[in-house]
Chains A and B, each alone.
Chain A
């Protein structure tokens, strides 16, 4: 089995982003960028399947500008076998990303694509489901457990109120939730080794898909802030204020 893991370069989760005053977007200059945390979980899940002898090859792919190759290298340093960068300078929406990934999945003849359930920049939570639709494959979204059972994949999903278990016929799509695993750190020797692993660059337009945006972003604004309230000294004061001042009891 061959596994494809798409990874996205996003603003590091510890960074509090600033909205540009002119409403044109979020200020990304000199901001620390990292692999989307859910994608790290996806890489880890793929590596564990390989280590368990269920997969032969793990390919990481990213879509973006030249700098996105750093994220591919991170995946390689974690243990993926080879990387692909689909190069584009324009913003690509989840639908366009899914179309590009379909092209890559078909070219590489993979049987499983594991993706993060959402990217922490646009918070869309769409790409995996869209890719499943375009390939006509089943989807196991928000996965917290994963097992290959012959020609099938057993996926435990986090749903409202509890957990759901599904059996999917391979080839299939999985999107990862937080509890699936704890991703490994790349060791220094592995980071060095990763520099020698193959990383192929493809221009997005050679895949022949329409990547034009379908949403027009009119403005990006800062949400109304909340100001700090008051400190109360005791439980009695808290209950009395909740009752009389806030009126919520």
Chain B
């Protein structure tokens, strides 16, 4: 069993999602090599080489690999595929974009969002927004998998593996990168944060997110999230969306503020260790899955909570 793990990175760092996908890849048994496709990505390759238990890093460096464009990256992976039994990527925007393209080029049916590895060819994955779990066995000889990162622990660093420089496979010329607006934040990344404070439509405005969610998130050292309703209303950026079609998270502590708890939202956070719900509606569905529920006006509770947290920290 030889597995190729596709690294999600920013040309400098390997993200946590990749570490979690590595844990899943290692559960399948056999060796794992990591592909770092990027531009001036030597540092990312070096970071990948320190991942615990990886056999080798394959570095492909070219301008057109710099922004994770699906077309050239998929061609590169397909060229490497004959040496591997499985191709694995984290279920991030990057992985979800590229891997099905690879699977189709290899004439393989992909297994999306693996949450459990039961055997090297048998996996569990959620369907219907996590309201059902399906166990599937792959009939294709080659496995192509994306890994739901909230379900696996992040692999730690170990001894350094060798880095092999690959020649690029050329650009396809059918897609070009124009620009990217990525917000750099000092907060923990939403999908790997230990604590998350999320706001819903009840917040009412982007200013209220800043005024009522952010201070509590600061006090907890937490990432900030949002319900789809809040994102659609423009109160929070789209990559904050937690839910079936947004990010799926499983922090130690999830604080849902003014979120009623539609099944699509619950699908994105119900595996959190401890859930706190703050809502003025005592019948809100979120209370049915919350460990601790506080009924009341969030605009009064949140400042009070911030004070209490700061007091208990000092």
Residues on A facing B (Cβ under 8 Å): 11, 13, 16-17, 19, 26, 38, 93-95, 98, 117-118, 120-134, 137-139, 141-142, 144, 154, 157-169, 172, 177-179, 213-223, 226, 228-232, 234-236, 238-239, 241-243, 246, 248-249
Contacts of B128 in A (CB 8 A): 11, 17, 26, 120-121, 123
Q: Does B96 contact A (CB under 8 A)?
A: yes
Q: Interface with A: B79-87, B153-161, B170-178, B206-214, which one? A: B170-178
B253 at the binding interface (Cβ < 8 Å): yes
Chain A residue nearest in CB terms to B278: A238
Beta-carbon contact of B133 and A220 below 8 Å: yes
Other-chain contact of A232, B96, B275, B294 (Cβ < 8 Å):
B294
Q: Indicate which residue in B137, B176, B241, B244 contacts A216 across the interface (CB closer than 8 Å).
A: B137
Nearest chain-A residue to B270 (Cβ)? A226
Residue in A closest to B69 when the chains form the complex, CB atoms: A166
What are 7 A-to-B residue pairs whose CB atoms are below 8 Å?
Answer: A17-B128, A125-B96, A159-B239, A178-B231, A179-B238, A213-B139, A236-B308
Contact B137 A218 (CB under 8 A): yes
> Quick check: B93 and A125 within 8 Å, CB to CB?
no
* Shortest distance between the CB of B48 and any CB in chain A (Å): 18
Of B22-30, B33-41, B283-291, the one contacting chain A is: B283-291
Contacts of A139 in B (CB 8 A): 70-71, 97, 101, 175
Chain B 109-147, CB-CB to A under 8 Å as 1, else 0, gives: 111110000000010001111111111111110000000
Kindly provide the distance from the CB of A40 to the nearest chain B CB, expressed in whole angstroms: 13
Q: Which of B71-98 contact A (CB under 8 A)?
A: 71, 74, 92-94, 96-98
CB-based contact B93/A158 at 8 Å: yes
B238 contact set on A, CB distance < 8 A: 144, 158, 163, 177-179
The 3 lowest CB-CB distance pairs between A and B, nearest first, are A214-B109, A229-B291, A129-B100
Of all chain A residues, the one with the shortest Cβ separation from B190 is A160
Chain A residue at minimal CB-CB distance from B111: A215
- In the complex the two chains form, is A235's CB within 8 Å of B301's CB? yes
Residues in chain A near residue B294, CB distance under 8 A? 231-232, 234-235, 238
CA distance A144 to B244 in the complex (A): 17
Residues of A within 8 A of B97 (CB): 129, 139, 141-142
- Of B50-58, B179-187, B197-205, the one contacting chain A is B179-187
Query: When chains A and B are docked, how far (Å) is the Cα of A139 from the Cα of B206?
Result: 32
Report the Cα distance A221→B116, complex, angstroms.
Answer: 13
Q: Which of A19, A26, A138, A228 contacts B289 (CB 8 A)?
A: A228
Interface assignment of B293: CB less than 8 Å from any CB of chain A: yes
Residues from chain B with a CB closer than 8 A to the CB of A94 are 100, 109-110
Contact indicator A162/B180 (Cβ below 8 Å)? yes
Given known contacts A159-B239, A214-B138, A216-B139, is B103 in contact with A242 (CB within 8 Å)? no
Contact, CB under 8 Å: A221 / B110:
no
CA distance A122 to B245 in the complex (A): 12
Given known contacts A129-B70, A169-B174, A123 and B112 CB-to-CB distance under 8 angstroms: yes
Q: Does B63 contact A (CB under 8 A)?
A: no
Between B139, B174, B312, the greatest number of chain A beta carbons within 10 A of the residue's beta carbon is seen for B174
Taken together as a complex, chains A and B put the C-alpha atoms of A223 and B130 apart, in Å, by 7
CB distance from B264 to the nearest CB of A (A): 7
Q: Which residues of A contact B273 (CB under 8 A)?
A: 248
Tell me whether B130 and A129 are in contact (CB under 8 A): no
**Given A130-B100, A215-B111: A17 in contact with B276 (beta carbons within 8 A):** no
Q: Which residues of A contact B228 (CB under 8 A)?
A: 178
Q: B305 within 8 Å of A by Cβ? A: yes
Complex: how many Å from CA A122 to CA B125? 10
Whether A246 contacts B71 by the Cβ 8 Å rule is no
B267 and chain A: residue at smallest CB distance:
A123
